[in-house]
Amino acid sequence: MAKRSCRRTTDENLIHKKAVEMRKKTDEQLVHYVEDRVEKARSEGFNCGKASVPKTGEGAKEFIAFLQLNKIPGIGAVTINKLIKVAEENGYL
C-alpha cells in the first residue's frame, strides 16, 4: 500500500513533486531533458578528468623514482635505466 502524502518527509515530497513533473512531460520534452542531462554529465566528466591529469612528465618521474626506491623482483638497475632512456626519447621526461 502506498504511503499517505501527509506522512511523507520533506525529501520524499520533493522527490514526488519532481516525479509528477516528469510524468506530465511530453515525449519530446523528455527527450530534450535527457539529452541535456547527458551533455551536462559529459562536459562535467570531461572537465573533471582534464583537471585531474598531472602535468606532463610528473607521473613518469614519480614512477621512475618509485622503481628506484623500491626493490622489485625482476626490475634491476639496467631495466630502470632502459625505462629512463625510452621515456626521455619519447618526451615523457
Please indicate, yes or no, whether residues 11 and 35 belong to a single structural domain of this protein.
yes
For residues 41 and 24, state if they share a domain. Answer: yes
Q: What is the per-residue pLDDT for 44?
A: 86
Residue 2 lies in a domain: no
Q: Please spell the DSSP secondary structure of 9-43, one letter per residue.
A: -HHHHHHHHHHHHHHTS-HHHHHHHHHHHHHHHHH
Within a domain: 71:
yes
Whether residue 84 lies inside any domain: the answer is yes
Q: So what's the pLDDT on residue 32?
A: 94
Q: Answer whether residue 41 is part of any domain.
A: yes
Within a domain: 33: yes
Q: How does pLDDT run along the chain (93 residues), one tens digit per residue?
A: 677 878 889 999 999 999 999 999 999 999 999 999 999 988 888 877 777 766 666 788 888 888 888 888 888 889 989 999 998 898 887
Q: What is the pLDDT of residue 29?
A: 93
Dist CA 26 CA 29 (whole Å): 5
**pLDDT for res 39:** 92
Residue 82: give the domain boundaries: 58-89
Whole-prediction pTM value?
Answer: 0.43
User: Is 1 a domain residue?
Assistant: no
The confidence score (pLDDT) of residue 56 equals: 60
